[in-house]
Amino acid sequence: MRQLLALSFICLASVIYGDALGDMDAFFVKQYQKISEQSANAIRPVILVDGFNYTLYNKDGTTEIIEGPVPPFNALKAVSHIGPCLYAIGKQAWTGDSTWIETLKEYQKLVAEAKKSAAEVDWSNPEWVMEEYKLRRFMIDSISAAEKFIALRLKEQRFDKQHYIQFAQNYLPTMVITMFLANLADTTDALNKLKDWKKKLGAQWEDLYVVLYGSKGRSTAALTVDTNTAAQTIASLMDPKKVETNILLAPTSKNPEQAFATLGAVLNARELANLTFDTNREQKISGLYKALQNPTIPLALDNVKEIIQQYKNHNPEHYSY
């Protein structure tokens, strides 16, 4: 009976005080969000990057946009992706999916239409002046090679790994060249326009913050400044000392408002760290200070590492390697 009463009191206390603690913490979150939004609105200039698009927010309230990707990026990408698409269809075949034939027939029609379109596409770009005719011929020939491969697979009703390997060996130059040319066109265009922004901003460029939000391409890629192509593009025009602190990645932010809120939260976290850990000794003994300064480090990282090490010390039989 006593145990039952004790348990009842514990549950009652959990209801009363647990909600109170939750309410208190929710209030903290609300206040932090408020100052993050206020701080972000006070910061200019800022460049927000969403996919291939760069938007500059000036101190006077105006905005400027660099829209990408530039032609013929998407056309080059489409031709490059013929190889991976045939791999995807091929894998269906060699893993026993009987629908691969109908899928390949459907793709065959798309490839045929794409070859017709390739003859009409403007393949020109300032980075390869007077070479667009050669590029058009190369693209049509590449698509024709894919057409022949598809027709043969459908005729034989067979598509195994070796078939794909043989195709890939011949198509690989197309995949590599189209990807490089697409990157050359888009990156050079962005660099030229960013250079103009830098010149126009003058000394303000040194105070620039950059937030790259959302994601493009593979969901596991481009999650750090060193591996993000847009971050690298902008960083090449910035003081290297500012790159680590002034370029932020916010892949979970879905729109400019969220991206700005993330920027405000990061800057407030740094100020919080400086005001809370106000001596060198305090800053050195706590991993929390470093984590607050660097948005890529989880606040709990040092604690979790220490806990894991202690666990390993007490359970060596599970850590023999």
The DSSP result for 40-96, as a single string, is HHT--SEEEEETTEEEEE-TTS-EEEE--PPTTHHHHHHHHTHHHHHHHHHHHHHTT
Whether residue 68 lies inside any domain: the answer is: no
Which residue shows structure tokens 């979790």? 304
Whether residue 49 lies inside any domain: the answer is: no
Whether residue 321 lies inside any domain: the answer is: no
Where are the alpha helices (H) located in 247-314, listed in sequence order? 256-276, 280-285, 287-293, 301-314
Whether residue 210 lies inside any domain: the answer is: no
User: By three-state DSSP, how is residue 235 classified?
Assistant: helix
d(CA 16, CA 233): 54
pLDDT at res. 115: 98
CA angle, residues 119, 122, 128, in degrees to nearest 5: 115
Backbone phi, psi, residue 208, to 5°: -65, 135
pLDDT at res. 213: 95
pLDDT at res. 220: 78
pLDDT at res. 1: 44
Strand partners, 66: 54
Report residue 32 as tokens: 């932090």
Report residue 273 as tokens: 């760290």
d(CA 125, CA 253): 33
d(CA 124, CA 130): 8
Whether residue 280 lies inside any domain: the answer is: no
- The pLDDT profile of the chain, 321 residues, written as one tens digit per residue, is 444 444 454 454 455 556 888 889 999 999 999 999 899 889 999 999 999 999 999 999 999 999 999 999 999 999 999 999 999 999 999 999 999 999 999 999 999 999 999 999 999 999 999 999 999 999 999 999 999 999 999 999 999 999 999 999 999 999 999 999 999 999 999 999 999 999 999 999 999 999 999 987 777 777 899 999 999 999 999 999 999 999 999 999 999 999 999 999 999 999 999 999 988 888 888 788 999 999 888 888 888 999 999 999 999 888 877
pLDDT at res. 282: 83
Whether residue 3 lies inside any domain: the answer is: no
How many separate domains does the chain show? 1
pLDDT at res. 5: 41
Strand partners, 213: 50, 250
Whether residue 311 lies inside any domain: the answer is: no
Report residue 196 as tokens: 């103009």
Whether residue 129 lies inside any domain: the answer is: yes
Which of 283, 286, 246 minimizes the C-alpha distance to 266? Answer: 246
d(CA 96, CA 7): 57
Report residue 189 as tokens: 């265009």
Helix (H) or strand (E) holding 303: helix 301-314
Report residue 258 as tokens: 């969220």
Instruction: State which residues form the domain around 113.
Output: 73-191
